[in-house]
């Protein structure tokens, strides 16, 4: 995966940058909350060892060009409030999958829409991707609404896709093309 050197994305309230080992305490706080990880395909973190293992895997995937793991940071306070990533990168098809998570105390304040709007612009701009995909548990209505508000189209349902946390879960698949994203942004700029 092509990542510009030391990529940083800024919005009015946020900075999105590559994850660092120093971010683990804040990420542990967020990922140890069962409400935050309820619909995610991994167990809640139980301690520092889970965060260190996650960081090691994320770093290995980045070095191998398979993924880019970012954190979402408030500009004013420098507090880490979420994370996002691009993964399952397919260079020949110029596509990748998008993932994200936000600390519960920041839900409902528009942070994830702000972050993902900028992150998508980064993926379609400097990253040169043509297509983004996202997968969400159909019960996670908040995530589905976010994706649709960003311009993603629900393209299918994979039944019993995951066996996570003792249950079989379905996955809704979403896609967004760079051409659709550009048209959406252009139409939102018109009076």
CA distance 111 to 102: 8
- The residues spanned by each domain of the chain are 8-189
pLDDT band at 21 (very low <50, low <70, confident <90, very high): very high
For the segment 111-155, what is each residue's pLDDT rounded down to a tens digit? 999 999 999 999 999 999 999 999 999 999 999 999 999 999 999
Average pLDDT for 26-51: 94
Q: Rounded to whole angstroms, how far apart are CA atoms 10 and 75?
A: 8
Structure-model confidence comparison of residues 156 and 66, the more confident one: 156
| pLDDT at residue 6, as a whole number | 74
- What are the backbone dihedrals phi and psi of residue 113, each rounded to the nearest 5 degrees, phi first? -65, -45
Query: What class has domain 8-189?
Result: alpha beta
What pTM was computed for the model? 0.93
pLDDT tens figures, 57-107: 999 999 888 899 999 999 999 999 999 999 999 999 999 999 999 999 999
- Count of C-beta atoms within a 10 Å radius of residue 47: 9
Asked whether 24 and 55 are in contact (CB, 8 A), the reply is yes
Predicted local distance difference test score (pLDDT) of residue 158: 95
Contacts of 177 (CB under 8 A, 6+ apart): 130, 131
Q: Is the pLDDT of residue 109 over 60?
A: yes
**Nearest CA to 91 among 134, 135, 129?**
129
Burial class (CB in 10 A: 0-12, 13-18, 19+), 88: middle
Q: What is the pLDDT of residue 131?
A: 98
């Amino acid at each position: 995966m092509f990542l510009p050197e030391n990529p940083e994305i800024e919005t009015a309230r946020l900075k999105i940058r590559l994850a660092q080992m120093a971010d683990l305490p804040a990420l542990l706080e967020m990922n140890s909350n069962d409400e935050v990880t309820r619909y995610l395909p991994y167990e809640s973190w139980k301690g520092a060892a889970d965060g260190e293992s996650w960081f090691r895997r994320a770093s290995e995937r980045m070095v191998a060009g398979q993924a880019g793991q970012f954190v979402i940071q408030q500009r004013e306070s420098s507090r880490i409030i979420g994370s996002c990533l691009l993964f399952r990168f397919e260079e020949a098809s110029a596509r990748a999958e998008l993932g994200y998570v936000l600390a519960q105390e920041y839900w409902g304040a528009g942070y994830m829409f702000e972050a993902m709007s900028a992150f998508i612009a980064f993926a379609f701009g400097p990253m040169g991707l043509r297509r983004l995909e996202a997968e969400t548990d159909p019960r996670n209505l908040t995530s589905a609404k976010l994706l649709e508000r960003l311009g993603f189209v629900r393209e299918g349902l994979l039944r019993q896709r995951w066996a996570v946390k003792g249950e079989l879960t379905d996955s809704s698949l979403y896609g967004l093309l760079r051409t659709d994203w550009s048209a959406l942004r252009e139409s939102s700029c018109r009076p």
